[in-house]
């Protein structure tokens, strides 16, 4: 345990206490008749307006991992870390129309999860189960990464011991989060998101003005970054992309954009909104967060110029690059403002972690528990099951941190991205066409998932510490199609998720053509074309809270 930073710790604790009070008070904020229904507990009554939705989705998508890991990647690898910026620029035009259709059909039929939609669209509990399991498994390491961000702050505050004592503050924080999420549901992170986003904006605006002045200007900052990366050219890192990583950069940005709103927690914020106009306004306004993200990423270069070093994780004995930004703030800011910055990052972990656990709990309840365990479950039983599942998911994420090297859990998030991309044909494409046969979608999911996991397994970590699951950048020379190497000798890299998605689509098309020729049955579609255009106030919408 390092020496505690008492001024920062007091301010952090006060702001953390404020959001805890808000979390418990949220149960009565804009409350409906009862929280014993997934419409109310899991989707906030489906009545959030433009401002609430903007803060909720922004707080959900731009997580503590974003604020900690993107600058850390810039610090370690340079320009490659900027992939997060173009992907958050292109994502909103890509998803604008699909999200409107998803909201309409879900509001018409009372769907709570993307797997609910797949179940209604194809009448296949098997396909819906695959989508649900994919969503749950891909979300778990994402929640764990929120803990990585929070624990990086706690280490900087002085809680950097080995064993259970070192993790105790983290456990206490997540017990508090678990309790008020259990009580208040989605309303808790929606209300806390206001505090989180305001704090983040204040901290970043101050940081990008104050730190460059203190460090001698942007010329000095970029010069220091250039000097660092030129000193280790063999790694391929630098302030500019090179011929080997440009394809990886482009495919990672595009793949991440396609994956973002396939995650169940992203759709949860959309389905909680009041109507299509709310979604339109948000897809137009949310790119403001991308400006914030670009400024955040540059903190990695500022840390290089400031000579900031990562703290050594006492539990593993190795430097933890996730502490770069908190350590930079601790080094450069007055104690009182560093405390505010630490609180912003810490609270930034709570909002997405709560939404992710709720989304995973909804998937378990609707598409596993109700489908296979208790088909006659009442709305109250569903809500109870979801509340319990949200606790299990949170503490499962804590187990990742306790029993797995946190640095490895970051790599698990890359695995989660590859996994969630395999749901694109059954979820996103199905919003527009039912051409794909259900057996084709299942076969495509199996092919994409199997090949994606195999390719990830073959990739070693850059530092040589692990032979498998060391990243998501595949060297084209290693790409093999049944023993044929189409890009033999190439040193360029490509994002594994992009490759596996192509395999998914190719297999889905081939099996669909075969299934149509053999006239295999394709399930029953419970949706109609008009369902995808329904809006707030339409008589065909299912009543909120109706089973």
The pLDDT score that the predictor gives to residue 234 is: 55
Q: Which two tokens stand for residue 188?
A: 């808790």
Report phi then psi at 333, rounded to 5.
-95, 155
The pLDDT score that the predictor gives to residue 27 is: 81
- Confidence class for position 160, pLDDT limits 50, 70, 90: confident
- Confidence class for position 60, pLDDT limits 50, 70, 90: confident
Taking the CA atoms of the chain, what radius of gyration do you get in angstroms? 23
* Long-range CB contacts for residues 428-432, cutoff 8 Å, separation at least 24: 428/98, 428/258, 428/262, 430/117, 430/118, 430/121, 430/122, 431/98, 431/101, 431/102, 431/105, 431/532, 432/98, 432/101
Residue that wins the pLDDT comparison between 7 and 64: 7
The pLDDT score that the predictor gives to residue 130 is: 97
- Burial of 352 from C-beta contacts in 10 A (0-12 / 13-18 / 19+): buried
The pLDDT score that the predictor gives to residue 440 is: 97
Residue that wins the pLDDT comparison between 480 and 307: 307
Q: Does the pLDDT value for residue 211 go beyond 70?
A: yes
- Taking residues 417-433, what's their average pLDDT? 96
Q: What is the rounded CA–CA span in Å between residue 64 and residue 46?
A: 26
Report phi then psi at 544, rounded to 5.
-65, 130
Q: What is the rounded CA–CA span in Å between residue 475 and residue 489?
A: 9
What is the dihedral angle through the alpha carbons of 461, 292, 259, 350, rounded to the nearest 10 degrees? 80
Task: Quick: pLDDT tens for 468-486.
Answer: 788 888 999 988 888 888 8
The pLDDT score that the predictor gives to residue 163 is: 62
On average, the pLDDT of the chain sits at: 88
- Which residues does 47 contact at the CB level (< 8 Å), separation at least 6? 30, 274, 544
Q: Which CATH number fits domain 10-409: 3.90.1150.200, 1.10.3720.10, 3.40.50.2300, 1.20.1730.10?
A: 1.20.1730.10
Q: Is 401 helix (H, G, I), strand (E, B) or coil?
A: helix
Q: What is the rounded CA–CA span in Å between residue 292 and residue 84?
A: 11
| CA proximity to 493, closest of 464, 463, 472 | 472
Cβ of 163: how many Cβ atoms within 10 Å? 10
Please give, one letter per residue, the 3-state secondary structure of 408-466: HHHHHHHHHHHHHHCCHHHHCHHHCCCCCCHHHHHHHHHHHHHHHHHHHHCCCCCCCCC
Of 82-86, 309-313, 432-436, 540-544, give the range with the top mean pLDDT.
432-436
The pLDDT score that the predictor gives to residue 67 is: 79
Q: What is the rounded CA–CA span in Å between residue 332 and residue 221?
A: 14
Residue that wins the pLDDT comparison between 547 and 542: 542
Min mean pLDDT across 27-41, 444-458, 506-520 is at 27-41
Cβ atoms of residues 290 and 89 within 8 Å: yes
Q: Does the pLDDT value for residue 108 go beyond 90?
A: yes
DSSP 71: H
Q: Does the pLDDT value for residue 1 go beyond 60?
A: no
- Which residues does 438 contact at the CB level (< 8 Å), separation at least 6? 122, 123, 124, 127, 522, 523
Q: Which residues pair with 481 in a beta bridge?
A: 484
DSSP readout, 212-266?
Answer: HHHHT-HHHHHHHHHHHHHT-GGGT-BSS--TTTHHHHHHHHHHHHHHHTTSHHH
- Taking residues 308-327, what's their average pLDDT? 83
The pLDDT score that the predictor gives to residue 412 is: 66
The pLDDT score that the predictor gives to residue 140 is: 85
- Confidence class for position 508, pLDDT limits 50, 70, 90: very high
Q: Which two tokens stand for residue 276?
A: 């299509």
Q: Does the pLDDT value for residue 2 go beyond 70?
A: no
Cβ atoms of residues 174 and 144 within 8 Å: no
Task: Quick: pLDDT tens for 226-246.
Answer: 999 988 765 667 889 988 889
- Which residues does 482 contact at the CB level (< 8 Å), separation at least 6? none
* Buried b or exposed e, range 362-397, using 16+ CB within 10 angstroms: bbbbbbbbbbeeeeebebeebbebbbebbbebbebb
What pTM was estimated for this model as a whole? Answer: 0.93
- Confidence class for position 35, pLDDT limits 50, 70, 90: confident
The pLDDT score that the predictor gives to residue 298 is: 93
Q: Which two tokens stand for residue 84?
A: 């997060």
Cβ atoms of residues 260 and 266 within 8 Å: yes
Q: Does the pLDDT value for residue 546 go beyond 70?
A: no
Task: Quick: pLDDT tens for 448-468.
Answer: 999 999 999 898 877 667 777
Task: Quick: pLDDT tens for 164-197.
Answer: 666 677 788 888 888 889 989 999 999 999 888 8
The pLDDT score that the predictor gives to residue 533 is: 95
Share of the chain above pLDDT 70, in %: 94
Q: What is the rounded CA–CA span in Å between residue 240 and residue 311?
A: 27
- Taking residues 57-69, what's their average pLDDT? 79
- Confidence class for position 408, pLDDT limits 50, 70, 90: low
The pLDDT score that the predictor gives to residue 547 is: 57
Of 154-158, 200-204, 264-268, 284-288, give the range with the top mean pLDDT.
264-268
At 312, which helix (H) or strand (E)?
Answer: strand 311-313
The pLDDT score that the predictor gives to residue 447 is: 97
Task: Quick: pLDDT tens for 322-346.
Answer: 889 999 999 999 999 999 999 998 8
């Amino acid at each position: 345990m390092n020496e505690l930073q008492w001024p920062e710790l007091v301010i952090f604790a006060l702001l953390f206490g404020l959001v805890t009070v808000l979390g418990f008070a949220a149960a009565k904020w804009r409350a409906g008749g009862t929280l014993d229904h997934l419409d109310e507990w899991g989707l906030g009554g489906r009545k959030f307006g433009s401002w609430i939705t903007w803060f909720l989705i922004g707080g959900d998508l731009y997580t503590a991992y974003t604020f900690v890991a993107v600058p850390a990647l810039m610090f370690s690898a340079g320009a490659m870390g900027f992939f997060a910026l173009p992907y958050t620029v292109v994502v909103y035009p890509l998803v604008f129309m699909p999200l409107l259709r998803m909201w309409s059909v879900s509001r018409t039929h009372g769907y709570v999860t993307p797997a609910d939609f797949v179940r209604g669209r194809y009448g296949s509990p098997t396909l819906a189960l695959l989508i649900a399991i994919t969503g749950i498994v891909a979300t778990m390491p994402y929640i764990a990464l929120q803990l990585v961000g929070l624990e990086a702050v706690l280490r900087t505050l002085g809680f950097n011991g080995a064993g259970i004592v070192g993790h105790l503050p983290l456990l206490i924080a997540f017990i508090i989060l678990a309790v008020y999420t259990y009580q208040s549901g989605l309303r808790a992170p929606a209300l806390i998101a206001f505090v989180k986003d305001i704090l983040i904006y204040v901290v970043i605006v101050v940081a990008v003005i104050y730190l460059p002045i203190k460090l001698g200007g942007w010329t000095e900052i970029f010069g220091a970054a250039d000097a660092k990366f030129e000193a280790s050219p063999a790694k391929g890192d630098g302030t500019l992309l090179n011929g080997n990583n440009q394809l990886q950069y482009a495919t990672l940005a595009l793949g991440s954009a396609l994956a973002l709103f396939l995650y169940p927690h992203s759709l949860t914020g959309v389905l909680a909104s009041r109507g299509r106009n709310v979604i339109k306004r948000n897809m137009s306004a949310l790119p403001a967060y991308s400006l914030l993200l670009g400024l955040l990423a540059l903190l990695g270069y500022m840390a290089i110029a400031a000579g900031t070093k990562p703290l050594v994780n006492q539990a593993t004995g190795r430097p933890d690059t996730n502490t770069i930004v908190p350590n930079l703030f601790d080094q450069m800011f007055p104690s009182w403002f560093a405390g505010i910055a630490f609180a912003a990052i810490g609270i930034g972990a709570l909002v997405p972690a709560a939404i992710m656990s709720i989304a995973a709990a909804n998937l378990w309840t609707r598409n596993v528990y109700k489908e296979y365990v208790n088909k006659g479950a009442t709305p109250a039983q569903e809500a109870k099951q979801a509340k319990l599942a949200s606790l299990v998911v949170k503490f499962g994420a804590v187990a990742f941190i306790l029993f797995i090297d946190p640095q490895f859990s970051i790599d698990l998030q890359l695995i989660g991205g590859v996994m969630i991309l395999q749901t694109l044909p059954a979820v996103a494409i199905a919003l527009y066409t039912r051409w794909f046969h259900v057996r084709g979608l299942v076969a495509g999911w199996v092919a994409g998932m199997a090949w994606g996991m195999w390719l990830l397994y073959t990739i070693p970590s850059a530092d040589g510490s692990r032979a498998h699951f060391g990243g998501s950048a595949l060297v084209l020379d290693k790409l093999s199609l049944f023993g044929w190497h189409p890009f033999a000798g190439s040193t360029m890299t490509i994002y594994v998720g992009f490759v596996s998605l192509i395999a998914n689509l190719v297999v889905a098309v081939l099996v669909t053509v075969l299934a149509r020729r053999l006239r295999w049955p394709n399930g029953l579609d419970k949706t109609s074309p008009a369902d995808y255009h329904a809006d707030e106030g339409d008589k065909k919408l299912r009543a909120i809270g109706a089973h």
